[in-house]
Amino acid sequence: MRAADATLGVVLVVLVALLLWVIVVYNNLVRGRNRVREAWSGIDVQLRRRGSLVPNLVETVRGYATHERGVFEEVARARSALQQAGGAAAAASANTALSQALGHLFAVVEAYPQLRASESFTSLQRDLGDVEDKIAFARQFYNRNVLEFNTRAETFPGNLVASTLGFSPAEFFESTDDGRAEVTLDLSGPPRARAPEAPPPPSAS
C-alpha cells in the first residue's frame, strides 16, 4: 500500500513536471511564431511599397516609350503576381520575378535619354532602389527570426511538442539576385545603340 502511494506520488510529480515543461515549450514556440509574423510585416510593408511604385514607373515610361507593350505587360503581370503571392517563399520568388521584369523595363529606358534625365523618372528610380535596399535589410531580420523559430521547433525534444501542437517551420525569404545581375548586363548592352532620334513628348499627365 505504502509503496503504491509512493509510486503514485512519483508518477504525479513527473506528470506535473512534464505538463509544466510542455507549457513552457509551447509558450516559447508561440512567442517565436509571433516574432516571425512581426518580422514578416516589416518585409510586407516594403513589398507593398514597391508594388505601389511600379504603376507610376510604368506610366512615366509609357509617356516616352509607347511601343514597348510587351515589357509593360510583363511588369504588370509580375506586379500582380507579387501582390497575390501568399507565404514568404512565394513572395520571394514573385519579388525576384518583378526584379527581372523591372530589369527589362530599365533596359528599354536606356534607349530614351530624355526619359532617363526626367525628374519624375529619376526620383522613381531612386525610390525603387531605396525600397530594394530596405527589402534586403528587412529580409535579414526576418530570416534571423525564422532561423530562431525553426531551430526551436525542429530540435529535440521541442519538436515533439511542436509537431503535436501543429507548429510548422516558417519559410525563409530567399532572394536570388539573378534578376539584378541581368539588369547590369542589359544596361551595358546594345540598347544604347538604338536610341530613337525623336522620343515622343510625355503625355500631359
Residues that bind other proteins (CB under 8 A): 35, 38-39, 42, 46, 130, 133-134, 137-138, 140-141, 144-145, 148
**109-145 as b/e: b if 16+ CB within 10 A:** bbbbeebeebeebeebbeebeebbebbeebbeebbeb
Nearest CB to other proteins, comparing residues 14 and 136: 136
Nearest CB to other proteins, comparing residues 35 and 79: 35
CB of 127 to other proteins, least distance (A): 12
CB of 176 to other proteins, least distance (A): 18
54: left (phi over 0), alpha (psi -120 to 50) or beta: alpha
CB of 142 to other proteins, least distance (A): 8
**173-186 as b/e: b if 16+ CB within 10 A:** bebeeebbeebeeb
Nearest CB to other proteins, comparing residues 39 and 107: 39
Nearest CB to other proteins, comparing residues 46 and 95: 46
CB of 159 to other proteins, least distance (A): 19
Could you tell me how many residues make up the chain? 205
Nearest CB to other proteins, comparing residues 114 and 140: 140
CB of 95 to other proteins, least distance (A): 15
CA dist 203 to 119, 120, 160, 162, 200, Å? Answer: 15, 13, 63, 58, 9
